[in-house]
Amino acid sequence: MGDGRHPAAELAIETRGLTKRFGHQTAVNSIDLAVPRGSVFGFLGPNGSGKTTTIRVALGLAAATSGQVSVLGQEMPRRLKDVLPHVGALVEGPGFYPFLSGAANLHRLDSADRYAPSATRRARVREALDRVGLGHAAGKKVGAYSLGMKQRLGLANALLMPRELLVLDEPTNGLDPLGTREVRNLVRSLAAEGTTVFVSSHLLAEVEQMCTHVAVMSVGRLVAQGTLDDLRRAGEARVRVRTPDIAGALRVLAALGLVPEQTEPPGRAGDDDGVVSAPLAPGSTAPEAIVAALVAGDVRVRAFSVDRASLEDRFVALTGEGFDIAQ
Amino acid sequence: MPSDPLVRAGNLPCARPAVGWDLFASELAVLFRRRRTWAMLLALAAVPVLIAVAVRLSSSPPEPGRGPPFLDRVTQNGLFVGITALVVCIPLFLPLTVGVVAGDTIAGEANLGTLRYLLVVPAGRVRLLLVKFAGAAAFCLAATLTVVVSGALIGAALFPVGPVTLLSGDTISVGESILRSLLVAGYVTVSLLGLSAIGLFISTLTVVPVGAMAATIVLSVVAQVLGALPQLEWLHPWLFSHYWLDFADLLRQPIAWTSFGDNALLQAGYAAVFGALAYGRFVTKDILS
Ligand SMILES: Nc1ncnc2c1ncn2[C@@H]1O[C@H](COP(=O)(O)OP(=O)(O)OP(=O)(O)O)[C@@H](O)[C@H]1O
Ligand SMILES: [Mg+2]
């Protein structure tokens, strides 16, 4: 794994030229997704970029306009009946009967599963509820659940049976900080048991903490995919120099072949320091050489750092700055 | 590692799928745990009570030929209350409740968001349709039985009960008359299956359950209006409401089964056609709710 090329059976989800159109609008535009088995795969993208649509097609809820999907090495939707029992899913928020209790809702969904033994149903429902921290609210009507409680119940539903693949569409939506952390731990422990977790999320910090692989969607296209480190490495690092000698720093850095700019004017932090920064291509000037050049050029260096691109920087670079929904 | 991941996945607790009656049981549980279902059954149970109390309180006994059929017999024998109430409920009340349940089948699940979760379980689209139709049929049975049983109880409480004189003039025992009442309930249940199938089909077309319910109910009214127009005589045998009130044959001695058979055939035809339409629509439908 991690070498970028995987035999089909090693991929938990694979799409080839997957396209989904709604009328004239292309929600998913010819994407080739490769989710390695055993990975925790973060699926990112701005609102309306086609994440949920991709998930719906992969789970056989919607038909692809063109292209192929296979899940756990089996073609979908042809092998849907054989594949889906191994897949737990949370798709675009939870959906439950408000007039039934949390436990009764899980009973209902579990009894729809022909592979789920009825003998152990009660125990499995209880265990799943406990696992998401809903043990005490099991008998409460779902109509009286809070948003986060419903979300947790949706997760419990995905955990009713041992799964090989979990597809979680924004699992931490509406969860409190402790709930978010619990979900992160849950995902980690499931991954440790060998379950592949495919998780779409908007919380980049969270993805950074729990995912091994990442893919980024933008306006229906897959604009990046790979291991988390690959993706971050692809983004440029930046050198940051904190100094009162702005002009000097700009001159020295430019002389080194960098393209510096002043990113913070002097005096903002209450002293006379400003910040000059410049993108640093991998393999170009060594950071220690930059510091030496600055000192030699009589620049008073008060702080110096080389920041690796954060996932957020990378995300913004890939999907664009605009706040407006693209289509 | 064996190449087929699904073979390797020996971690499934049972390798062979169960037949899956659990889903039907769970469908019934969901249907009959809803307050709405009980409200409708209660309203249906109130109809014979209203009739019986009204007849009991009125000073003069009902005249033959006025009011609903069998009303004049109620004072002589309480066992007729249930039958009279069924006749009253068939044109509107029963189709109304059946329209609500059948129209809700798929659209209701879609609206709650439970449909996508049932399908990724996977419940199977065809299996889900069959279970939903069976659930609607179970409601039809529960609804008609509610009217008949409530009628028998209130009739026995307010009027004399004894051997029943049939339409053919023969007299049957109380026990036999209860059997006949159940037979009529069965007839009415079968009568409503065509409408249930129509509701199921309409329910696959929308994610707004109220729309599907209203459309189903409107269709049942339209069918009866068309059935009342003599100019459309040629159409009448094809209307699903054509035999709705023809259960009098079951109250003769010996029982004439022809209308029961004709009705069953017609309803089976409707169930087949609209079941096929629902199948055609639902199996390929994108579930985007
Ligand atoms: N039922 C539908 N009919 C028409 N267009 C749709 C439908 N569902 C989604 N779309 C369109 O498809 C595009 C992708 O939507 P999708 O729900 O996949 O986005 P997403 O990435 O999941 O967004 P979010 O982060 O907000 O959940 C959007 O432009 C949306 O308008
Ligand atoms: Mg989404």
DSSP string, B186-226: HHHHHHTHHHHHHHHHHHTT-S-HHHHHHHHHHHHHHHHHH
**Could you tell me if residue A321 is inside a domain?**
no
> What pairs with residue A89 in β-bridges?
A167
What residues in chain A have per-residue pLDDT under 50?
1-6
Decide if B26 and A61 are in contact by the 8 Å CB cutoff.
no
Would the CA dihedral through B134, B137, B139, B142 be positive or negative? negative
Tell me the chain B residues in contact with residue A113 when contact means C-beta distances shorter than 8 Å.
121-123
Residue A326 lies in a domain: no
Instruction: Give the closest residue (by CA) to ligand 1 atom 6.
Output: A22
Q: Does A302 lie in the same domain as A205?
A: no
Query: What mean pLDDT value characterizes chain B?
Result: 88
Q: Assess if residue A314 is contained within a domain.
A: no
Cross-chain Cβ contact B115/A162 below 8 Å = no
Can you give the C-alpha Rg of chain A in angstroms?
24
CA distance B265 to chain A (A): 32
% of chain A at pLDDT higher than 90: 54
pLDDT of residue A323: 59
The reply to whether A63 and A50 lie within a common domain is yes
Residue B26 has pLDDT above 50, yes or no: yes
- Give residue B14's pLDDT: 47
Going from the C-alpha of A155 to that of each of A184, A255, B246, B289, the distances in angstroms are 12, 56, 53, 19
* A178 in the same domain as A114: yes
Element (DSSP H or E) covering residue B277: helix B258-283
Whether residue A228 is found in the same domain as residue A240: no
For the cut 50, the answer to whether the pLDDT of residue B13 exceeds it is no
B-chain residues near A112 (CB < 8 A): 20, 22-23, 26, 118, 121-123, 128
Residues spanned by the domain of A12 = 8-232
- What are the residues whose beta carbons fall under 8 Å from the beta carbon of A78, sequence distance 6 or more? none
- Are A147 and A87 in a shared domain? yes
Of the three residues A232, A251, A267, the one that is the final residue of a domain is A232
Compute φ and ψ for A287, nearest 5 degrees: -55, -40
Domain end (from A217, A232, A247): A232
> Residue A52: CB within 6 Å of ligand 1?
yes
Q: How far is the CA of A159 from the centre of ligand 2 (A)?
A: 21
pLDDT, tens digit (0-9, with 9 covering 90-100), for A165-192: 999 999 988 888 888 888 888 889 889 9
- Kindly report the average pLDDT of chain A as a whole number: 88
Q: Where are the domains of chain B?
A: 18-283
Residue A316 lies in a domain: no
Chain segment B169-210, per-residue pLDDT in tens? 888 888 888 898 999 999 999 999 999 999 999 999 999 999
The 3-state DSSP class for residue A253 equals helix
Supply the DSSP symbol for A223.
E
In this structure, what token pair is assigned to residue B12? 């499934």
- Do A88 and A141 fall within a single domain? yes
Tokens representing A288 are 């220690």
Kindly report the CATH number assigned to the domain that includes residue A303.
3.30.70.260
Ligand nearest to the CA of A58: 1
Q: Give the orientation angle of helix B125-158 with respect to helix B80-89, to 10 degrees.
A: 130
**Rounded to whole angstroms, what are the CA distances from B43 to A280, B40, B85, B89?**
77, 5, 12, 11
Instruction: Collect all residues from B whose CB is shorter than 8 A from any CB in A.
Output: 3-6, 9, 11-14, 17-20, 22-23, 25-26, 29-30, 33-35, 112-124, 128, 284, 286-288
Q: What is the pLDDT of residues B126-158, one digit of tens each?
A: 999 999 999 999 999 999 999 999 999 999 999
Q: How close A240 comes to chain B (CA, Å)?
A: 48
**A40 with A97, same domain?**
yes
**Any residues with CB less than 8 A from the CB of A221 and at least 6 apart, and which?**
A29, A30, A31
Q: Same domain for A135 and A243?
A: no
